[in-house]
Structure 1
Amino acid sequence: MMRNYNDVHPFIPRDLDLHPPSYAPGYKTSVLRSPRLSLVSFTNSLTEATGPVFGHDLLGPNDHDLTVNYAEPGESAIGERIIVHGYVTDAHGKGVPGALLEVWQANSGGRYRHIRDGYLAPLDPNFGGCGRVITDENGYYWYRTVRPGAYPWPNRANDWRPAHIHFSVFGSGFAQRLISQLYFEGDPMIGLCPIVGTLPDPEAADLLTARLDMDNTIPFDARAYRFDIVLRGRRSTPFENKLEGN
């Protein structure tokens, strides 16, 4: 479908009061990374506002299944198999079709497939830790993976990240990328995490928590977790970089 460039409008800038502050001493790396000078905003270029456009032909047949998309033939990732599913919606609950959802995570032992991850947990040769899916005409998505493990990180003497999955949602243009992470219902580590503790709204962690959904469990295969992503409005999902939204 061709777009009329006369109808292209700039993206709405983020509201910095709605997500964690750049400077949060309890989150040690934010001390050095936080800006010391006032931020400067730039207007969107036509390139940023109009592209790229993502299509279903960009996805491989197993991109939505992290248990096998990096595995050897006949093999599967090690760990508790789960389904994560839900809807990407706007402020009125209307599904957003054609949104590209990317996910990345640690393996079931809490280790990332990255050269700089020095955690002593073993790597899983059949798990790459990343995948992607495009929402259907109703804004629905689902993917299969293994539940990631918690892992220690060099913040304070004994800080651990709770089990979590990073995700980003792309819109129609490159500047429309929203990034966040989901946690799992019942995990006691959520309230102990210094990163979660930077959220200014006490209800924000609840909005980032996937709920156990036994009605959509695949018997003898995988438990299901429901996680809806709301792009705008009072119940919008907290994002790390709110380039648009409330």
Structure 2
Amino acid sequence: MSELDSSLFVTRDRTRHPRALTPDYKTSVARSPQQALITLVPSISENTGPDFSHLKFGPHDNDLLLNFNNGGLPIGERIVVSGRVMDQYGKPIPRTLVEIWQANAGGRYRHKNDRYIAPLDPNFGGVGRALTDSEGNYIFRTIKPGPYPWRNGPNEWRPAHIHVSISGPSIATRLITQLYFEGDPLIPLCPIAKTVSEDAVQSLIAKLDMGMANPMDCLAYRFDIVLRGQRKTHFPNR
């Protein structure tokens, strides 16, 4: 690597990640490792594939208003979520798979273990996928998820959020995070959000984007995903 290249390289800041044991986030107590971590040598299958270039998409894979349609439209605030997947220098990451999953407008997931009292929406499945274009852009149309209570304390609520998965060139490079919405007062109260630094939290907040909003239809939020560097998005599994 040349001297110029070395000056451009941004090393990973491991201090951005939360401690494994954060007692205010109660499930971390049982999940935090009790012994020293070991390094596993990845197999060939983990270092190669999958190749998404020939993946067949349905017409509504990235449209959560229509991909679980059972005769009607979902209930809730219609929104567009879009952005760009890029590296630390702004270079686009094309043809990479972006997947999302979320609760409905009432704050309930379509999952057998979700027992929250909010009703399921018969026209909302809560999952979608998109492939970034040549410039790293992706877009989803969906319903803004509702907050929901969780058993971390007597009155703890998760902010509205959408889970996001980005699949790189191999299974081992898959990264998972979640986005929050600008202006949500529950974000600074959330025990999960409080486990990381303020700049890491800011990297998880989707900003209102009136330029992408559809007049008389829906607002839009922008969530750019930076895979490394000083402006990187926070990924808990990194």
Using structure 2 for the length normalisation, give the TM-score: 0.92
CA contact (8 A) 1:56 1:134 kept: no
Equivalent residue number for residue 234 of structure 2: 238
RMSD of aligned Cα (Å)? 1.3
CA contact (8 A) 1:62 1:68 kept: yes
Equivalent residue number for residue 84 of structure 1: 81
C-alpha separation in 2, matches of 1:149 and 1:93: 32
3-state SS of paired residue (1:131): strand
Residue in structure 2 matching 1:142, options 139, 143, 161? 139
3-state SS of paired residue (1:133): strand
Mapped pair 1:227 → 2:223: yes
3-state SS of paired residue (1:203): helix
Query: Which string of whole-angstrom CA distances, capped at 9 and with x for unpartnered residues, describes residues 76-127 of structure 1?
Result: 1111000000100001001100110010000000000111111101110111
Q: What pairs with 1:15-30 in structure 2 (closer than 5 Å)?
A: 17-30=15-28
Identical aligned pairs, as a percentage? Answer: 56
C-alpha separation in 2, matches of 1:22 and 1:57: 36
C-alpha separation in 2, matches of 1:100 and 1:203: 26
3-state SS of paired residue (1:87): strand
Deviation at 1:58, TM superposition (A): 3.0
C-alpha separation in 1, matches of 2:144 and 2:188: 19
CA contact (8 A) 2:98 2:132 kept: yes
Mapped pair 1:197 → 2:194: yes
Query: Which string of whole-angstrom CA distances, capped at 9 and with x for unpartnered residues, describes residues 52-73 of structure 1?
Result: 2113533221110011101124
Using structure 1 for the length normalisation, give the TM-score: 0.89
Deviation at 1:30, TM superposition (A): 0.7
Equivalent residue number for residue 49 of structure 1: 47
Q: Structure 1: which amino acid aligns with 2:25? A: Y
Query: Which string of whole-angstrom CA distances, capped at 9 and with x for unpartnered residues, describes residues 11-40 of structure 1?
Result: xxx875332222110000110111100111
Count of aligned positions: 227
Query: After TM superposition, where is structure 1 displaced by more than 3 Å over at least 4 residues in a row?
Result: 14-17
**Can you give the 5+ residue segments of structure 1 that lack an aligned partner in the other structure?**
1-13
